[in-house]
Amino acid sequence: MMRDPAFFKPTTLEDALRLLREHQGALLIAGGQHLVPRLDEYAEKTPALINIEGLQDLRGVSRAASRLRIGAAETHGAISRDAVVKDAIPALAELAGDIGDLQVRNRGTIGGAVMSGVLNSDYRAALLALDAQLITAGATIDADKIDARPDLPSGDILVAIDFAIPARAEFIKHVHPAAGYADLAIMLAQHADGGLRLALIGEGRRPERLHRVEDALAKNKADRSAAIRALDDAVAGDASLELSDYHAHLLRRDIVALAQRMLGLDLTS
Amino acid sequence: MSEATRRAGEIELHVNGRRVSARVSALTRLVDFLRDDQGLTGTHVGCDTAQCGACVVRLNGVSVKACTVLAAQADGGAVETIESVATNGELHPLQRALSERHGLQCGFCTPGLVMSILDATADKAHLSRPQIRAALKGNLCRCTGYQHIVDAVEAYLHSPSDRPAPDAPEDSRIGDAPLRREDARFLTGNGRYTADVSFPGQTYVAFARSEVSHGRINLIDASKAGAAPGVIGVLTGEDLEADGIGALRCGWKVANEDGSAMADTARPVLARGKVRFHGEAIAAVIAETPDAARHAAGLIRADFTPLAPHLGGGDSPADEALHQGAPDNVCFRWAIGDEAAAARAMDDAEHVVSLDLRNNRLVPNALEPRAANARYDPSEDRATLYVTSQNPHMARRVIADIVGLRSENRLRVISPDVGGGFGSKIFVYPEECVCVWAARKFGRPVKWVASRRESFLADAHGRDHQTTAQMGFDADGRITALTVRTRANLGAYLSGFATFVPSFIYGTMLAGPYKTPIIRCAVTGAYTTTAPVDAYRGAGRPEATYVIETLLDEGARALSLDPAELRRRNLIRKEDFPYQTPVAVEYDDGDYEAHLTAALEQSEYASFAERREASQRNGKRRGIGVACFVEAAGIGPSALAGAAGGDVGLWESASLRFSPTGALDVLTGSHSHGQGHETSFAQIVHDRLGVPFNDIRIIHGDTDKTPTGMGTYGSRSISVGGGAIAKAADKIIDKAKIIAAYLLDIEPEDITFEEGRFFKAGANAGLMLQDIAEAAYRAHDLPPELEPGLEATAFYDPDNFTFPSGTHVCEVEIDPETGAVAIERYTAVDDFGEIVHPMIVAGQVHGGVAQGVGQALFEEARYDEATGALMTDSLRAYRLPRAADIPDIDVASSPTQCGHNPLGVKGCGEAGAIAAPAAVMNGIADAIGRRIDMPATPAKIWRALKECDDA
């Protein structure tokens, strides 16, 4: 009748890649939590859906030296319960365990959340704060370089996400009252080399690293009042952040809390 | 293509343990496959955005939302639906616990909830109440307020699973709490809602809706839609005249203060000439499948000359009035009370407090979206309509007329199980009219099920008042006068009760429970380019209570009096009843001081200061809010309805019909959409007649079966519907007594009737009512002149409204850093008169309070100022309360009997929604030291606190 795309369920990554090449404009589907409620929007013109949730190449969690690799088709629920994730980056396991609701966590995948292009998906904060790389079948892409929707080479498939294991990391989220996504959330990570990465996500904004705040926190350890000034400049004083007064307040407050807990910095003014 | 790669289309899976193969489209959602292909209609659809959880099933052992899984994704897997949970007719322990704790009302969300809870409790580990609430995050319930669900989960987790089912009590009287008869079908997925009904040859209608808020229609081009595959026909406003289709009208002609008529308007069932709000239906496409209808509706092309939206704020009228008959966009200017006397009293007052109040616009959001399914039988020239209605006889009358059926009884309206209403399903809407029209025109059954977005766009909204009010006090804190000016948004068209709600049922309730000697209220009912606004739970009374109770709190602040003490000084006292208010109504009875006292005790009001200090030590702000209320329920006396401009009387009917073997059918004009009438009405009948509880069946919602009824709203079922049942029962007794006397050979006046038995005092011999029913139908030996059979119909028209009242106390703690509000305690002490089923009543209070908390903290429908488009058009944008948002509510009863009601009952359905917004907002104002508008979002609270600090 009007629209009746083909549906493929490849059993190997190779097959999936081949199907993707053969069917220009095909959509990949993993857990489907983003895609299925928006079928009208996405599937109207697509010739085929390719279900990749069962691909073994997209499963599994592994730790190698200072990096943690999570298969793109792992669900939020599985990530939140995974002993390796919990041990390596507890904040990431907690983040995954607080996404959506039980049903979303049972189905939704990390790869799907990242590839959906939802800018305030919680993982988008983790990608930046944890210096992640997107491992595709044919490439490795630095998370710092991805835009709204990760722009994979044509015909490529996200296989895994590889995170730097930080010395410590924390995620704070203010949930949008209705949608359930982050209204405002930050992740701060202190990496093995001492470097800080602070990522901000929120409703209607692009994920970004707050470099100026990172600098303020890193440089002014000795001088408390300078650090406070720098923080104020970097948050309330930074019009480019385009935060409402309330969000600027929450952001500042959360940064102060994390600086205290993670870095032992007292920035309460 | 390798062997291993399968192209789907053919799927194979296990459904409830059964192996199933089927052909599906790649885009078929699992929920549609289960419902349409497998006939498993226990899995429901309540939204389009994966937020409501009504569709939760288990896939490969874990809970998933079946609306966000493709059927093709379930290929090779195992799906379990609600239909699999009970085994061999035995409820699962969780299902049993839900029934025992009254953890369900309308039953629409119940299957999804059961499947979610089973997953969340799979390991049966202990969960605290907050953990249970958190585990229910994926499921919305609009009826229960969640408390009884949490109780049930707690009971399920903490009691041995092999516990035997408690024996259902054989007989339950007024005041007992039997298991609800509705529960077994709702818990097992056997409820039958309108969307579950399909006919052979079924077709589907989809509506093209205006994306423009206000504009002149230049052209509606349906040619592409008409030619689309699967399309049977397209209807637009141009077809109305040719087919003789009428228009919808408001049933209440409210007069202006100067005595002139209101600027009445009619609503075409498809837009004609103009569109007047975002979401108005401009065309209907009838097609072979829902998908084909939706797709073709998207091909309707419309050309408008856009006009400025008019949202009713300020004095900026649209560049063209919405309706020719209302050039200033005003429908009515209604008023009550002497303006000059009120102004003088206000001038003379010792203290005057003044407030500008906004009563936020709400979308009722019953979890079951509206739906209709009509078929037409030409051989009988008769249509049958299944529809989600609280008021099936009114639907029959209005729709038969609009569609132009030969007579009212050429339409049968069946309102089967209905998944919540809260007012939004009282009214007749265009969509069901179109279904009947199209079913007759095209000769095929026509079905429509609203998407949640359509519910937001096109259901009647609630509230939306802008009010300026003043209250005057004397030096002792006694109220001397109240003046209220309200601009009520009626929307683009007048819905069925639209004019009544912000006038008579608002202005006449402004005395509240207080001895306010002079009241003046003036209401302007305004047309705007928004969805029609009509009765939503409480309808006028929450708005009145909000005005009174917020002013009183401001008064307490101005007079440096304790808010509870100020209320006590002003309450109408027990000895003052009957009490004539200055705004027309006369309260029959009550004891307001009793529930104020009880509520203060129960909420530990006296020791609040200690708790406030403890919060302060933790950097938090604590506040306590009191709200007393009285509402006019049991709507209502027909003469008063007539005096208020109503088209109809507001009595209720009931028929009691014995079978020849003594079984008793009770046919009621009330309608149950979660309230449990099948249970509580049977209690009334058993109590009155002594017929075994389980021999009594309640029948409702079918205009071919029940006597003409007026439906359920305005907390009228138990008082007016129950009153009719009681009257019919008395007629049964009267006739049976004559037969009993004849058969026992004694004088009728010597007969006593007790516990279902007729006997002469002191004598052993007696006859059971059911034996008399048998004798009446056998009719071999009846008193001369007496007709055979035993049935009776009664119409009950109440002498007055009933006046439930109560005091609610809400204690909040606010984190000044984030503005987040936690409701720490909520106490509700209400006077509902006689209580028929205490658990159902508690459930009504919980649900009402939850909706009131929703209004106070979360909910608000917003239209874009520039475009007039509804911005909050999904559950992603409009927040409904979830389990973790609602506190445990401490419910108690402080009854006085309603003397003029045959059962002494008053009604309980709306009280929670009436009191809670004021109680919560007073608590917040107490905590932060200033008053903000609803909804009190964290950002608003934080800003208010910051402004205080800055000042």
For tokens 């002594």, the residue is B690
A244 contacts on B by Cβ (under 8 Å)? 939
A1 touches chain B (CB under 8 A): yes
A101 contacts on B by Cβ (under 8 Å)? 53, 137-138
Residue A239 neighbours by CB distance under 10 Å = 7
Task: Say which range, A95-109, B136-150, B222-236, B315-329, has the weakest mean pLDDT.
Answer: B315-329
Residue type (1 letter), B338: D
Cα–chain center distance at B878: 18
Structure token pair of residue B528: 């705007």
Structure token pair of residue B941: 């609270």
Testing the interface with A: which of B27, B285, B362, B870 to mutate, by most A Cβ within 10 A?
Answer: B27
Residue A1 pLDDT > 50: no
Cα–chain center distance at B418: 10
Confidence grade of residue A222 (pLDDT, cut at 50, 70, 90):
confident
Confidence grade of residue A164 (pLDDT, cut at 50, 70, 90):
very high
The answer to whether B541 and B465 are in contact (CB under 8 A) is: no
Residue A236 neighbours by CB distance under 10 Å = 15
Residue B407 neighbours by CB distance under 10 Å = 10
pLDDT at site B7: 52
Task: Indicate the residue of A4, A10, A33 with minimum beta-carbon distance to B26.
Answer: A4
Q: Give residues with Cβ within 8 angstroms of B89, minimum separation 6.
A: none
Query: Residue ranges of the alpha helices (H) in B674-768?
Result: 677-689, 722-744
Tens-place pLDDT, residues B358-414: 999 999 999 999 999 999 999 999 999 999 999 999 999 999 999 999 999 999 999
Q: Quick one: which H or E segment has residue B371?
A: strand B371-377
Among residues B348, B346, B309, the alpha carbon closest in space to that of B468 is found at B346
What is the SS3 string spanning B548-567? HHHHHHHHHHHHCCCHHHHH
For tokens 């850093």, the residue is B817
pLDDT at site A268: 85
Q: Give residues with Cβ within 8 angstroms of A4, minimum separation 6.
A: B25, B26, B27
- Tell me what the mean pLDDT of segment B924-951 comes to: 95
Structure token pair of residue B601: 């005790």
Give chain A's largest Cα–Cα span.
Answer: 70
d(CA B713, CA B715): 5
pLDDT at site B594: 98
- Mean of the per-residue pLDDT values for chain B? 96
Residue of B nearest to A178 (CA): B879
CA-angle at B521, arms to B517 and B524, nearest 5°: 175
d(CA B55, CA B39): 14
Residue B150, SS3 per DSSP = helix
pLDDT at site B1: 40
Confidence grade of residue A154 (pLDDT, cut at 50, 70, 90):
confident
d(CA B683, CA B177): 9
Structure token pair of residue B312: 């009713």
Tens-place pLDDT, residues A178-199: 999 999 999 999 999 999 999 9
Structure token pair of residue B509: 């309730």
Tens-place pLDDT, residues B883-927: 999 999 999 999 999 999 999 999 999 999 999 999 999 999 999
pLDDT at site A148: 79
A186 in the Ramachandran plot: left (φ > 0), alpha (ψ -120 to 50) or beta?
A: beta
Q: Give residues with Cβ within 8 angstroms of B933, minimum separation 6.
A: B357, B358, B360, B940
- Tell me what the mean pLDDT of segment B54-60 comes to: 98
Which residues is B332 bridged to in the sheet?
Answer: B525
State the pairing for strand pair B766-768/B479-491: unpaired
pLDDT at site B442: 98
Among residues B735, B711, B738, the alpha carbon closest in space to that of B724 is found at B711
For B73-179, list the strands marked E by DSSP: 78-80
Residue B350 pLDDT > 80: yes
A118 touches chain B (CB under 8 A): no
The answer to whether A167 and A191 are in contact (CB under 8 A) is: yes
A2 touches chain B (CB under 8 A): yes
d(CA A120, CA B503): 45
Among residues B807, B252, B704, B144, the alpha carbon closest in space to that of B499 is found at B252
d(CA B84, CA B887): 32
B939 contacts on A by Cβ (under 8 Å)? 244, 246
- Tell me what the mean pLDDT of segment B244-272 comes to: 97
Structure token pair of residue B878: 């409009």
Tens-place pLDDT, residues B175-193: 999 999 999 999 999 999 9
Confidence grade of residue B4 (pLDDT, cut at 50, 70, 90):
very low
Q: Give residues with Cβ within 8 angstroms of B219, minimum separation 6.
A: B301, B302, B303
State the pairing for strand pair B6-7/A6-9: antiparallel
- List b or e across B117-130, with b for residues whose CB sees 16 or more CB atoms inside 10 angstroms: bbbbbeeeeebeee
B877 contacts on A by Cβ (under 8 Å)? 178-179
Q: What is the ipTM of this complex?
A: 0.96
Residue B282, SS3 per DSSP = strand
Tens-place pLDDT, residues B464-512: 999 999 999 999 999 999 999 999 999 999 999 999 999 999 999 999 9
Residue B681, SS3 per DSSP = helix
pLDDT at site B166: 59
Smallest Cα distance from B196 to chain A, Å: 21
For tokens 């199980």, the residue is B417
d(CA B367, CA B109): 7
Q: Mark yes or no for CB contact B26/A7 under 8 Å.
A: yes
Q: Is the CA virtual torsion B281, B285, B289, B295 positive or negative?
A: negative
Structure token pair of residue B508: 């006449």
Smallest Cα distance from B458 to chain A, Å: 20
Structure token pair of residue B453: 């977005």
Residue B168 pLDDT > 60: no
pLDDT at site A221: 72
Residue A94, SS3 per DSSP = helix
Residues 184-243 of A with CB under 8 A from B: none
pLDDT at site B2: 41
For tokens 């509206």, the residue is B370
The answer to whether B484 and B469 are in contact (CB under 8 A) is: yes
Q: Percent of chain B at pLDDT above 70?
A: 97
A256 contacts on B by Cβ (under 8 Å)? none
Structure token pair of residue B95: 């299902």
Q: Mark yes or no for CB contact B138/A102 under 8 Å.
A: yes
Q: Dihedrals φ, ψ of B320, to 5°? A: -145, 140
What is the SS3 string spanning B448-505? EECCHHHHHHHCCEEEEEEEEEEEEECCCCCEEEEEEEEEEEEECCCCCCCCCCCCHH
Residue type (1 letter), B916: A
d(CA B660, CA B537): 41
* 3-state DSSP percent of chain A in helix, strand and coil, to 5: 40, 25, 40
Residue B722, SS3 per DSSP = helix
| A11: exposed, middle or buried (Cβ count in 10 Å: 0-12, 13-18, 19+) | middle
Residue B569 neighbours by CB distance under 10 Å = 15
B950 contacts on A by Cβ (under 8 Å)? none
For tokens 């600098």, the residue is A215
What interhelical angle do B938-950 and B911-928 show, nearest 10?
30
Residue B436, SS3 per DSSP = helix
Q: Mark yes or no for CB contact A51/B73 under 8 Å.
A: yes
- List b or e across B626-638, with b for residues whose CB sees 16 or more CB atoms inside 10 angstroms: bbbbbbbbbbbbb
pLDDT at site B559: 97
Task: Say which range, A136-140, A161-165, A218-222, B71-75, has the weakest mean pLDDT.
Answer: A218-222
The answer to whether B39 and B360 are in contact (CB under 8 A) is: no
Higher per-residue confidence, B837 vs A1? B837
Tens-place pLDDT, residues B545-579: 999 999 999 999 999 999 999 999 999 999 999 99
A9 contacts on B by Cβ (under 8 Å)? 5-6, 8, 72, 75
For tokens 């298991």, the residue is B179
Residue B8 pLDDT > 60: no
Residue B793 pLDDT > 60: yes
